Amino acid sequence: MPNLTIDGQKIEVPAGTTIIQAAEKLGIEIPRYCYHPALPVAGNCRICMVEVEKQPKLQIACYTPVAAGMVVKTTSPKVLEARKNVLEFLLVNHPLDCPVCDQAGECKLQDYYMEHGQYDSRLASVKVKKEKKAFSIGPTVMLDQERCILCTRCVRFTDTITKTSEFGVFDRGDHSQLDVYPGKELDNKYSGNVVDICPVGALTDKDFRFKCRVWYLDHTKSVCPGCSMGCNIDIDWDKSRPHTEKKERVMRLKPRHNPDVNNYWICDSGRYNYHFIDENRILSPQYLDKIVEWGEAMERVAETIQSTKAERIGVLASAQLTNEDLFVIRKLFKDTLKAHVDFRVPEKPGDSDDFLIKADKNPNTAGAASILGAQADAQTIVQKAKQGELDLLYVFGHDLVKLFGKETVAQIAKKTKLFVFQGSNINDTCGYAHLNLPSSVYAEKDGTFTNCQQRVQRIRPAFFPLGESKGDWEIVSFVAGQLGAPLSYKGPQDVFDDIVKTVAGFAGMSYEKIGDQGMILKK
């Protein structure tokens, strides 16, 4: 464990640590373009050069390993001068088209120029023109060769992470240009990540470009609900200007670093899976074809429950719900009413790979299993409903038409007294349900998901629920209140504290302890 000094601060780090990593531990961020912690070191941008005592030349911090007794200066006049000079070189042939560049506001050229550049231009000749300005290189990404600083992060990403090797740097010297290989397209399941790692405006996302200036974005820490991996994400939403044609609030999703789950990456299907948040939503409770007040809707559910027996109530919970939602469902329907409750519907496995994409497309299968257990069986519940053995079927989000066919669902609607569908988005089942209840989507929810590694992770509400929709736990609590058996939870955190007390695996957890990185369920 070598001891070294960086900017006067002493630190001990494991052998093999590079200066840039050691500095990071001290909270010193050394500027970088080509360096990315999850990619092999290229050492080509030269902006991370630092002064190492007893070394005649400046050293690149991304590649130089620490040594015992090393004294590093990251802000000496020599270093600052070198940074300025590297920036000057990088900007010599850069088009400086910031006003029309979508990266503006989160561009490292801009940031470092303001921090370390601030020189007057010495360029008195013409810039090198690259072949192509902005062009499509695949279904998701646009490339602007002029803005590229040839840091090769994207090349290394496709070489080492996806192993698809679409990118190459062609030609030589100041005519070098980034491109995809002839006849190839950037078309892999993780293509969007190259936009995240591009430090400048060379690679932009077709889905996001020109939709919103990044300084209007607010960021909410969340977890991707697309599969059981539970990749950590940031929901980037427009705080003040819902001016897009579709009135969408979410502008984009970005991966959030979690070394234990998704590192810096997310897959494309997760990245672009946000349009449902503002599309095709159920906006108010509806009984038969009539919009009703929440009170009336709840009254109908309560009446039905009160007029029947426990064995004639079936509940299809869902692994799309949060642990908190599921726990409140358990409390009311399983523990109090002793009804049939299950969440495991016969879904076909989705596509998967050996990296981040899991076949189970539910974010909370592990959580549902730990909270609801596995006594009843969804298939049996549906069969019972179909055969008229249930008075109430309460479905959370599942599209039964897709899972069991129209016939079955039509039979259920005929044979049950009350067929409740509670969900966020309209699907074919809504047309058959007697009562449709609008619930909020994950981006409007506070709560936790448990991923396939048994890791309990927080999601947070980015904005208020759309229309009259409410959190699933809240709706179920409302029903409980109508039944005269109130569940007096103040909010999801309150529910979670009860989970911790009740469900063994969650022992010792709290929202504070889960934090941003999650906690593993105890066996």
Partner 1 sequence: MEKVLTRNFGLENSHRLETYLKNKGYQAARKALTKMTGPQVIDEIKKSNLRGLGGAGFPTGMKWGFIPQANPKPKYLVVNGDEGEPGTFKDKYIFEKDPHALLEGIIITCYAIASHKAYVYVRGEYVKSMQTLQAAIDEANSSGYLGKGIMGTTFDLDVVVHPGAGAYICGEETALLESLEGKKGFPRLKPPFPAVVGLFGCPTVINNVETLSCVGPIIANGGEWFAKLGSPKNGGNRLFCVSGHVNKPGVYELPNGITLRAIIYEHAGGIPNGRKLKAVIPGGISAPVLTADEIDVKMDFDSLKAIGSMAGSGGIIVMDDTTDMVWAAMVAARFFAHESCGQCSPCREGSGWVYNNLKKLYQGGARPHDLANLPGIIGNIGGNTICAFGDAVTMSVGSYVSKFREEFENKIKERVCRI
CB atoms < 10 A from the CB of 414, how many?
11
Q: What are phi and psi of 9, to 5 degrees?
A: -100, 135
Instruction: State how far the Cα of 74 lies from the Cα of 77, in Å rounded to an integer.
Output: 9
Q: How far is the CB of 125 from partner 1 (least distance, A)?
A: 4
Please list the alpha-helical segments (H only) found in 176-329. 193-197, 268-271, 294-306, 323-329
Q: Which is nearer to partner 1, 81 or 428 (CB)?
A: 81
Question: With binding defined as CB under 8 A, does residue 54 bind partner 1?
Answer: no
Question: Which member of 46, 189, 402, 406 binds partner 1 (CB under 8 A)?
Answer: 46
Contact letters for partner 1, residues 78-107 (x by CB under 8 A): ----x--xx-xxx-xx--------------
As a whole number of angstroms, the longest Cα–Cα distance in the chain is 87
> Which residues inside 128-157 make contact with partner 1, applying CB under 8 A?
128, 149-150
Q: Which is nearer to partner 1, 83 or 330 (CB)?
A: 83
Instruction: State how far the Cα of 100 lies from the Cα of 209, in Å rounded to an integer.
Output: 11
Question: Which member of 29, 115, 171, 353 binds partner 1 (CB under 8 A)?
Answer: 171
Q: Which long-range contacts (CB under 8 A, 24 or more apart) does 173-180 make?
A: 174/93, 174/128, 175/128, 175/130, 176/150, 177/130, 177/131, 177/145, 177/148, 177/150, 178/143, 178/145, 178/148, 178/150, 178/152, 178/154, 178/202, 179/137, 179/143, 179/145, 180/137, 180/138, 180/143
> Which residues inside 342-371 make contact with partner 1, applying CB under 8 A?
none
Question: Which member of 173, 182, 346, 508 binds partner 1 (CB under 8 A)?
Answer: 173
Q: How far is the CB of 284 from partner 1 (least distance, A)?
A: 58
Q: Using CB under 8 A, which of the segments 41-49, 203-211, 233-241, 413-421 binds partner 1?
A: 41-49
Instruction: State how far the Cα of 89 lies from the Cα of 411, in Å rounded to an integer.
Output: 72
Question: Which member of 4, 48, 52, 58 binds partner 1 (CB under 8 A)?
Answer: 58
Q: Which is nearer to partner 1, 67 or 374 (CB)?
A: 67
Question: With binding defined as CB under 8 A, does residue 125 bind partner 1?
Answer: yes
Q: How far is the CB of 93 from partner 1 (least distance, A)?
A: 6
Question: With binding defined as CB under 8 A, does residue 61 bind partner 1?
Answer: no
Question: With binding defined as CB under 8 A, does residue 335 bind partner 1?
Answer: no
Q: How far is the CB of 109 from partner 1 (least distance, A)?
A: 12
Q: Using CB under 8 A, which of the segments 1-9, 43-51, 220-228, 261-269 binds partner 1?
A: 43-51
DSSP-assigned letters across all residues of 303-349: HHHHTS-GGGEEEE--TTS-HHHHHHHIIIIIIIS--EEE----PPP
Question: With binding defined as CB under 8 A, does residue 481 bind partner 1?
Answer: no
Q: Using CB under 8 A, which of the segments 173-181, 200-208, 389-397, 502-510 binds partner 1?
A: 173-181
Q: What are phi and psi of 447, to 5 degrees?
A: 160, -160
Question: With binding defined as CB under 8 A, does residue 513 bind partner 1?
Answer: no
Structural contact between residues 10 and 3, judged by C-beta atoms closer than 8 angstroms: yes
Question: With binding defined as CB under 8 A, does residue 43 bind partner 1?
Answer: yes
Give the rounded distance of the alpha carbon of 72 from its chain centre. 37
Question: With binding defined as CB under 8 A, does residue 288 bind partner 1?
Answer: no
Q: What are phi and psi of 199, to 5 degrees?
A: -75, -10
Q: How far is the CB of 264 from partner 1 (least distance, A)?
A: 22
Q: Using CB under 8 A, which of the segments 133-141, 172-180, 232-240, 408-416 binds partner 1?
A: 172-180
Instruction: State how far the Cα of 333 lies from the Cα of 335, in Å rounded to an integer.
Output: 6
- Please name which of 265, 300, 284, 133 lies closest in space to residue 194, comparing C-alpha atoms: 265
Question: With binding defined as CB under 8 A, does residue 123 bind partner 1?
Answer: yes
Question: Which member of 10, 54, 57, 490 binds partner 1 (CB under 8 A)?
Answer: 57
Question: With binding defined as CB under 8 A, does residue 176 bind partner 1?
Answer: yes
Please list the alpha-helical segments (H only) found in 100-234. 108-112, 153-156, 193-197
Question: With binding defined as CB under 8 A, does residue 111 bind partner 1?
Answer: no
Q: How far is the CB of 65 from partner 1 (least distance, A)?
A: 9
Reduced to 3 states (helix: H, G, I; strand: E, B; else coil), residue 211 is coil
Question: With binding defined as CB under 8 A, does residue 122 bind partner 1?
Answer: yes
Cα dihedral 154, 155, 156, 157, rounded to 10, equals 40
DSSP-assigned letters across all residues of 382-408: HHHHHTT--SEEEEES--HHHHH-HHH
Structural contact between residues 266 and 258, judged by C-beta atoms closer than 8 angstroms: no
Question: With binding defined as CB under 8 A, does residue 118 bind partner 1?
Answer: no
How many residues sit in the footprint of partner 1 (CB under 8 A)?
Answer: 33
* Residues at the contact surface with partner 1, assessed by CB under 8 A: 41, 43-47, 49, 57-58, 63, 82, 85-86, 88-90, 92-93, 122-126, 128, 149-150, 169, 171-176
